[in-house]
Amino acid sequence: GAVVSQHPSWVICKSGTSVKIECRSLDFQATTMFWYRQFPKQSLMLMATSNEGSKATYEQGVEKDKFLINHASLTLSTLTVTSAHPEDSSFYICSARGTGANTGELFFGEGSRLTVL
């Protein structure tokens, strides 16, 4: 089946620094990718929809200047947490909708755990 890969799987950074997380669709082209964040013992919360070649669409309450999303190619979307603070520590998960025979199925990456000190 289709595979979505995230990198890094975990990252620790100091408060005030920026962190970039990559999301790649390995064997299919994804015109649309989605970014979620998940706090411990909670469900996934949709942050934004990433569209190739255009601006991302953010969910209500998500700061677009804080969480920069770039979907520069059909296989890569990046999420940059700018000026990270401890409250940004979370599990970030990307997903991409399949194509062809997998249309309709949403494939998820392995997730990236961010810890801000």
Q: Which residues bind other proteins (CB under 8 A)?
A: 4, 6, 32, 34, 36, 43-46, 49, 51, 57, 91, 93, 95, 97, 103-111, 113
Taking the complex as a whole, the smallest distance from the CB of residue 56 to other proteins amounts, in Å, to 11
Report yes or no: 3 and 27 within 8 Å, Cβ to Cβ: yes
Cα 51 to Cα 31: distance, rounded to the nearest angstrom: 6
**Beta carbon nearer to other proteins, 9 or 18:** 9
By beta-carbon proximity to other proteins, the closer residue of 27 and 105 is: 105
Question: Going edge to edge, which strands form the sheet with 19-25?
Answer: 4-7, 19-25, 76-81, 67-73
How many residues comprise the chain?
117
Minimum distance of other proteins from residue 67's CB (angstroms): 16
In the complex, the smallest distance separating the C-beta of residue 46 from other proteins, rounded to whole angstroms, is 6
Nearest to 84 by CA among 12, 8, 9, 15: 15
Using the minimum distance from each CB to other proteins, give the nearer residue, 11 or 44: 44
**Residue 65 or 103 with smaller CB distance to other proteins:** 103
Tell me how crowded residue 8 is: count the other CB atoms within 10 A of its CB.
13
Minimum CB–partner distance for residue 42 and other proteins (Å): 8
